[in-house]
Amino acid sequence: MSETATKIDFQAIDKILEKYEYKKSYLIAMLQGVQEVFRYLPEEAMTYIGEKVDGLSPATVYGVATFYAQFSLEPKGKYEIRVCDGTACHVRGSMPVLNAIRNKLKLKEGQTTCDNGLFSLEIVSCLGACGLAPVCVINDKVYPQMTSDAISTILDTLMKEEGVA
């Protein structure tokens, strides 16, 4: 598994703030940059930006971060799994696929990232590939016509590659 930025690297945040000259008008770009580094927006990072950038406050930064769906306030896994539960996918069996993923990753109720931080799971609405339903996406790779067996095999392979099988 590659190193995940779990500790808050304030120098990395400073670099991003410098790039945008600590201007509050670049807040979205700053948050995007921070999310790229940490794969989500840690609370400490939002507070830091709110204190460092003139005209902002931690509450303002938090408000913007929660307003936009592109920002995640929860840590994401190295593998971001998205399962479509739009109508076509739902009708063709997205739920058994979703349950197979949850079982395989041992995700508890409400948990979206597995304990080792390798996989995160998100349910999305139509991915625009209804003819391939049910569809899953892992990072940028699309997996068509998924079944619970097929997704279990894919996850087994990834886990083996990562040495966690």
Tell me the closest approach of the beta carbon of residue 20 to ligand FES, in angstroms.
36
Work out the number of other CB atoms within 10 angstroms of the CB of residue 37.
Answer: 17
Q: How far is the CB of 146 from ligand FES (least distance, A)?
A: 10
Residue 41 and residue 34 in contact, taking contact as beta carbons nearer than 8 Å: yes
Q: Which position's Cβ is nearest ligand FES?
A: 86
Interior angle at CA 107, CA 62 and CA 64, nearest 5? 10
Going by C-alpha positions, the residue among 34, 135, 127, 137 that lies closest to residue 80 is 137
Cα–Cα nearest to 148, from 84, 91, 95, 81: 95
CA 65 from chain centre, in angstroms, equals 14
Closest to ligand FES by CB, 64 vs 88, is: 88
- Residues lying near ligand FES in the complex (CB under 6 A) are found at 84, 86-89, 126-130, 133, 135
CB of 134 to ligand FES, least distance (A): 7
Rounded to the nearest whole angstrom, what is the least distance from the CB of residue 9 to ligand FES in the complex?
37
Nearer to ligand FES, 89 or 154 (CB): 89
Nearer to ligand FES, 84 or 155 (CB): 84
For ligand FES, the closer of residues 83 and 154 by Cβ is: 83
